[in-house]
């Protein structure tokens, strides 16, 4: 991509955020806290966060599963979509990240809606299943990319007919086609897993913006 194109993508994202999202002290504080703690700046963009929020609201999600909390930026967007009594369970590998996320959620007044579980998600997800923690109405997967197909399989297991499963970073600047790194291979494995799964109907959308060229996979669990 040209530097001019990527700069324009970011400028358009800023325009969208200014017109349709506006200033948000809690979200801005979360990003500032993440940066101060040295967390990587890999959160979804504000327009992407609001998309997640709108999707959760559109299906009336009462229970949400997130794989990959980082500092809780996307968690805030999703938790805000929950109705009274709704619940979000977010999984985070790193205790440091979970601590930052917990502080950000508390500052946003959302701590009572969110449970953060720390540890490898492939260890935590079977525990959620054993606890009958589901079904979840929406699952958002944004963690280590080589395990995306495994996370998708668990999200499906913990879903119900009509649930949405959303996976971030599936295009990876086009490297999904022939990239040789583990993340690109993980993206292809996810597409293969979704394509072979008769219990879902799915698509993927390429995105450009302040986060570069990437995309989401979105699947609905069939009735």
Return d(Cα 136, Cα 157) in angstroms, integer: 10
Strand bridging mode 87-92 / 114-118: parallel
pLDDT tens by residue, 48-92 = 999 999 999 999 999 999 999 999 999 999 999 999 999 999 999
Q: Which residues of the chain have pLDDT under 50?
A: none
Query: Per-residue DSSP letters for 4-68?
Result: HHHHHHHHHHHHHHHHHT---HHHHHHHHHHHHTT--S-PPPHHHHHHHHHHHHHTT-SEEEEE-
Per-residue b or e along 85-113, where b marks 16 or more CB atoms closer than 10 Å to that residue's CB: ebbbbbbbbeeebbebbbbbbebbebeeb
pLDDT at residue 5 in the model: 75
pTM (two decimals): 0.96
């Amino acid at each position: 991509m040209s530097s001019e194109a990527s700069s324009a993508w970011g400028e358009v994202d800023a325009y969208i955020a200014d017109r349709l999202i506006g200033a948000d002290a809690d979200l801005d504080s979360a990003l500032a806290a993440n940066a101060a703690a040295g967390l990587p700046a890999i959160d979804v963009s504000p327009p992407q966060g609001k998309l997640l929020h709108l999707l959760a609201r559109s299906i009336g999600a009462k229970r949400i599963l997130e794989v990959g909390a980082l500092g809780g930026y996307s968690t805030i967007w999703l938790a805000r979509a929950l109705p009274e009594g709704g619940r979000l369970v977010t999984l985070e590998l790193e205790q440091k990240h979970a601590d930052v996320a917990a502080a950000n959620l508390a500052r946003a007044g959302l701590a009572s809606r969110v449970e953060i579980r720390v540890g490898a998600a492939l260890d935590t997800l079977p525990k959620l299943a054993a606890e009958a923690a589901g079904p979840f109405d929406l699952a958002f997967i944004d963690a280590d990319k080589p395990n995306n197909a495994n996370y998708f399989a668990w999200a499906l297991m913990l879903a119900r007919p009509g649930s949405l499963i959303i996976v971030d970073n599936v295009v990876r600047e086009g490297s999904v086609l022939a990239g040789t790194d583990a993340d690109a291979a993980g993206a292809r494995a996810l597409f293969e897993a979704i394509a072979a799964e008769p219990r879902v109907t799915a698509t993927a959308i390429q995105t450009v913006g302040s986060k570069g060229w990437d995309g989401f996979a979105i699947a609905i669990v069939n009735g």
